[in-house]
Structure 1
């Protein structure tokens, strides 16, 4: 270690009495701070809530959500302020990038603790959110405009790298550090060259509890001071659940091999069905279905209920089946002594319902 580094770590310390400065003692060239493991990194967090927190339960819940590979240690500094020590840089970086986090629907503001920063006094007023920009008009769709909108929302952090990758986007994403003590912004106006104004709206991803009256995070409308300025239902609510970005629900998709990726990068590695030999099976499936149902019509005479299941192979999901139920029967006599029957069939598709919207004509049913 260089001499300059040793001098930086040491200094002259003077100890003096509070009431009598003459009573003092000097300690030259002593280390000012003990340094621990270089792999240890610290973060500080604050829970935006006025409810008491059970520390053990809070620590256990966050451990199950974060799951740091090298573990972590947490200490409660104040009622809603915590010091977190991670034992590897990668764990802290991942957890911060995956935020914002919440506990029991209350925002947990969290950031890295800077060197020589007092965790008791660290500023925890801003939290990073991914915000969706909806309704951005043509002529304003550029990374520079998206970044400027991010600066309007708060402290711009970064924009989504997939905003302009060639995909057909209905909105654009920007990551912004938002002041949690101020009302959330819902929309803004953009002025065109011809003087016309356009309005864009915002949606916040992973948005926890916020007030529909004042738009501030951390409390609901029942505990807002604005509720006392009106009378019951007369209180105006300028905010609502539409400020939250829609949740992505996992849905079983069985026909995605015909859907090409939207971005240029993803399409480079995508193989079209015609090139991979994976051709449509609709015609063969229709032929098999018609053949089996014709036999079912003849074999089902005199029976009240008949069911035929035809296997339907699918390269993506498990084997599916189309079940045909004979629910109604009607006989029409043509001529004397001739028994020609016409059977009215109701077809039910058991399994994936994607074919109700598109696919075999036999599966078409009116929308509910």
Structure 2
């Protein structure tokens, strides 16, 4: 539809026989490019996923403000197209996800990437580290633990500053 509207011309013939022509040019908007806010997804399973069920469950779970289009592509890969950056960031930050106890592994699709060739072999997990002396609750120590487990991603400071929990919570990326 956008292609049709991009070439839209309105012609109006006046009484004098002249034709007045209005051209509507499509503006280039980088936020509307085809692969922005897309995720390539696969599930860590040898069995077949019920696509219709998964699509309904994931759309209801994420409930993106701008909507989501979910397309089944080859080789057990699925393309999730979100329509705004806020939705994509919220989905990425909320990981990990599962469907029927199968881990969802995803990668953010870049403009130059082919969805069939994007590596899908890492997942992010929140890890709790217990029985640490209070003097070791720091981002530097969290980074060391994270890099030991996999690759350090994030450190949750909210629980520690409130004083409600007696463990360190870090997000790590693990090769699955």
Q: Give 1:310-349 correspondences, 5 Å limit.
A: none
Match of 1:118 among 97, 114, 117: 114
Q: Show CA shifts across 1:309-339 (max 9, x none).
A: xxxxxxxxxxxxxxxxxxxxxxxxxxxxxxx
Q: Structure 1 residue 117: deviation in Å?
A: 0.6
Residues 1:130 and 2:126 aligned together: yes
Residues 1:49 and 2:42 aligned together: no
Match of 2:174 in 1: 178
Larger RCO of the pair (alpha carbons < 8 Å, separation 6+)? 2
Q: Give 1:74-223 correspondences, 5 Å limit.
A: 74-137=70-133, 139-162=135-158, 164-165=160-161, 167=163, 169-180=165-176
**2:107–2:118: 8 Å Cα contact kept in structure 1?**
no
C-alpha change, 1:168 and 1:45, in structure 2 (3 Å) is same
**1:160–1:173: 8 Å Cα contact kept in structure 2?**
yes
CA distance in 2, matches of 1:168, 1:69: 32
Q: Mind listing any 5+ residue stretches in structure 2 that lack a counterpart?
A: 1-27
C-alpha change, 1:79 and 1:53, in structure 2 (3 Å) is farther
**1:96–1:111: 8 Å Cα contact kept in structure 2?**
no
SS at match of 1:65: helix
**1:53–1:79: 8 Å Cα contact kept in structure 2?**
no
TM-score normalised by structure 1 residue count:
0.37
Q: Structure 1 residue 161: deviation in Å?
A: 2.3
- Name the structure with the higher strand share: 2
Q: Structure 1 residue 168: deviation in Å?
A: 5.1
**Alignment RMSD:** 2.0
Q: Mind listing any 5+ residue stretches in structure 1 that lack a counterpart?
A: 1-34, 181-368
**2:38–2:79: 8 Å Cα contact kept in structure 1?**
yes
Q: Show CA shifts across 1:182-216 (max 9, x none).
A: xxxxxxxxxxxxxxxxxxxxxxxxxxxxxxxxxxx
CA distance in 2, matches of 1:61, 1:174: 27
SS at match of 1:38: helix
TM-score normalised by structure 2 residue count:
0.75
SS at match of 1:121: coil
CA distance in 1, matches of 2:126, 2:31: 32
CA distance in 1, matches of 2:128, 2:162: 18
CA distance in 1, matches of 2:148, 2:169: 14
Q: Which has the larger radius of gyration?
A: 1
CA distance in 2, matches of 1:166, 1:99: 24
